[in-house]
Amino acid sequence: MAQKYYFVSDLHMGGDGQLQHCDYAAEFIEFLKELEKEGPDTEFLIVGDTFGFWELTLVRGVERLAHIIQAHQAIFDQLRATGARIKVTMMVGNHDYDLACDPAFVEKLQAYNIHLDPSLVLIRPVGDKRIWIEHGQQRDQFNSFPEYGNAYALPVGYFITETFVSGASRYSDFGRGDWLKDIRSVGTMQLPDWMLSNYFYREMSMALRWVLLPFLLLASVTVIAILGEVLRVAGIFDYNIIFHNPLMSRLGIIDNVLQVVITINSLFLILFGIPALVVEHDLMRTLHRFRLRTSHGVTPNLDSEAPYLKGAQEVFQADDKVAVFIFGHTHSAFLR
């Protein structure tokens, strides 16, 4: 029985295009070599999502494993060497769910001295206490499996990844840089900002960016001018901080031109802004109906620690022998 445990999670090896690249290979191999020095009372557990984004590869069936191993042969050769000295256990995550659906994977991974355990939860002893180990997808409403072990009962998160990211991953080698592979480290709620930022700073034409900047600046000034006019009409200010400003009045014709431009821009913002607000309201109503938005008007934080803290409390209350609750999945390390 092991007395010492090492844990790692969410290696996310695999995919097509940029997602097949592995930045941590040398570091991970060195870590595995260090584990070879441990005694037979040591166990190394990979807590799910060893193989990431299988939704994205065109290879199907059990052959997916051979496809990924071939791309990361040095890592698997070292896993075989390390597994000959200590026990190496692999759990199933949401991105390599196929491992739990086909027993053929057990034999193929055993060839690399990797023991595949498809259980949702593993228990390990430590002294007279126990360690609770899970990947954590069962506490994520978008990635929990309705019928665990059924290859055709897949969560909505699987289809979202397959639909929206698969094409990009295959053709990402044609992008500017290899930023798409970093999606493995991005939280679900961070994805929109991350995509917009990478488009603006990496993919957008430099000429278009410089042309766009003055319009973005003008839009900001216009919003300030509209707010200033509202405050002036309400009697809070004597003059608009943009229009009829004593400082701006000294500019003469430049002030007049600026006022005309801002007035025209204000009309455009109002004409397009009001319909946009109506569309946004209807969109939020739809998201609420699909339970992608709470009744308080707040989108559920899929990266929240709360479900895991609650899960740990429930486990501790149900079994006072459990002293440690370990999980992966969120890509956000924290200790409580």
pLDDT at residue 73 above 90? yes
Q: How far apart are CA 232 and CA 291, in angstroms?
A: 42
Q: What is the pLDDT of residue 89?
A: 97
pLDDT digits (tens, 9 = 90+) for 273-286: 788 888 888 877 77
Mean of pLDDT over the chain = 81
pLDDT digits (tens, 9 = 90+) for 28-57: 999 999 999 998 899 999 999 998 766 656
Q: Which of 6-15, 72-81, 115-124, 130-139 has the lowest mean pLDDT?
A: 6-15
For range 313-317, the mean pLDDT: 96
Helix H segments across 59-103? 63-71, 73-83
Tell me the two tokens of residue 190: 């961070």
Q: Quick one: angle between helices 253-289 and 206-233, nearest 10?
A: 90
pLDDT band (50, 70, 90) for residue 95: confident
pLDDT digits (tens, 9 = 90+) for 259-314: 777 777 777 777 887 888 888 888 777 766 665 555 555 555 556 788 999 999 99
Better pLDDT: 182 or 22: 22
Domains in the chain with CATH codes: 4-187+302-326 (3.60.21), 206-289 (no CATH)
pTM of the model: 0.69
pLDDT digits (tens, 9 = 90+) for 145-186: 878 878 777 776 676 666 556 555 555 555 566 677 677 667
In the chain, helix, strand, coil percent, each to 5?
A: 50, 10, 40
Better pLDDT: 161 or 112: 112
Q: How far apart are CA 318 and CA 321, in angstroms?
A: 9
Q: How many CA atoms lie within 13 A of 42 on its CB side?
A: 15
pLDDT band (50, 70, 90) for residue 106: very high
Residue 10 near residue 328, CB atoms below 8 Å? yes
